[in-house]
Amino acid sequence: MEYSLLIAFTIGLASTLHCLGMCGGIVGALTFSLPPEVRESRRRLIPYTFAYNLGRLASYSLAGALAGALGNTLLNSRIGLWHAHTVMQVAAALILIGIGLYLAGWFPKFALIEKIGEPWWRRIEPYGRRLIPVRSPLHAALFGAVWGWLPCGLVYSTLIWTMSAGGVVKGAALMLAFGAGTLPGVMTTGILTGWMTRLTRLPYVRQAIGLSLVGMALGTLWFTSIADLSGLENTHPPF
C-alpha cells in the first residue's frame, strides 16, 4: 500500500504544470472575488487558499472511495476473484503506463480521457459559479469541493488506476496522496512555485518521471504474471 501511495503522490507532484494550468485560473477567480483587505494580506489569504484545497482534496478522496468500491465490486463479481484481480492489475498497470507516457510528453492524446466526466461536470459546474464571490473560508472549501470534479485527464486516469486499490479506504487514501502531491504547485507562491514550474518544464525531468512510472507499471505486470503462474500451479494438482 505504501508503494502505491508513493506512486500516487509522485503523479500529483509531477503534474505541477498541468495542475497550474487547470487550477490556476480557478484559484485566481477565488482570490479576486475576495475583499481587497483579504486579497492583499497573505496572512488573511492563507485560510481561504487552504480551505479551497481542503475541499478539493475532499472531492478527490470521495472519488477515490467510489472508485475503490467499484473496483472491489468487480473483484467479487461473477468473473471470479482470481481472474478479476488479474484483469484489474493489468488494467491498472496499463493506465499507469499511459500516465507515464503522458507526463513524459510522448502521449498527449491520453488527456482525452477527461471527456468521460464532461456530462457530470456540466451538471455541477453552475453550483461552483454560484459560490462566487467567496465570503468565508467555508465558502472557499465548498468552492474547492465543486471544482475538485473539474474534468482533468490526470485525475481521471489516476481514478481508473485507483480502482485496483481493492476497497473504499484504500481508494480514498490513494486519491488523497495524489491530491497532496498537487499541493506544492497550487498552495505555494513566489520562489517555490517558480522553481517547481521551471523544473517540470525541463524535458529530461518530465521524461525521467514518466519513465519511472512506466517502470513501476512494468514491475507491477511482472509481479502479476508471477502471481498468476503461482495461482495456476496451486489450482492444478500435480500428476
Q: Which pLDDT does position 57 carry in this prediction?
A: 95
CA angle 61, 62, 66 (to 5 degrees): 115
Cell of 77: 463479481
Cα separation of 125 and 32, whole Å? 19
Q: Which pLDDT does position 20 carry in this prediction?
A: 57
Q: How close are the terminal C-alpha atoms of the chain, in Å?
A: 38
CB atoms within 10 A of CB 84: 18
Cα separation of 93 and 88, whole Å? 9
Cα separation of 48 and 35, whole Å? 12
Residue-wise pLDDT tens for the chain (239 aa)? 666 888 888 878 777 655 655 565 676 677 777 888 777 777 888 888 889 889 999 999 999 999 999 888 877 765 555 566 667 677 777 877 887 787 777 877 776 776 777 888 888 888 888 888 888 899 889 999 998 888 777 788 788 888 888 789 999 999 999 999 888 767 764 334 444 555 556 677 677 777 877 777 777 667 655 544 455 444 443 33
Report pTM.
0.74
Q: Which pLDDT does position 235 carry in this prediction?
A: 44
**Per-domain residue ranges for the chain?**
2-227
Q: Which pLDDT does position 237 carry in this prediction?
A: 38
Cα separation of 97 and 63, whole Å? 21
Cα separation of 33 and 20, whole Å? 19
Q: Which pLDDT does position 69 carry in this prediction?
A: 92
What's the DSSP call for residue 148?
A: T
* Alpha carbon 128 to chain centroid, angstroms: 20
Q: Which pLDDT does position 189 carry in this prediction?
A: 46
Q: Which pLDDT does position 174 carry in this prediction?
A: 93
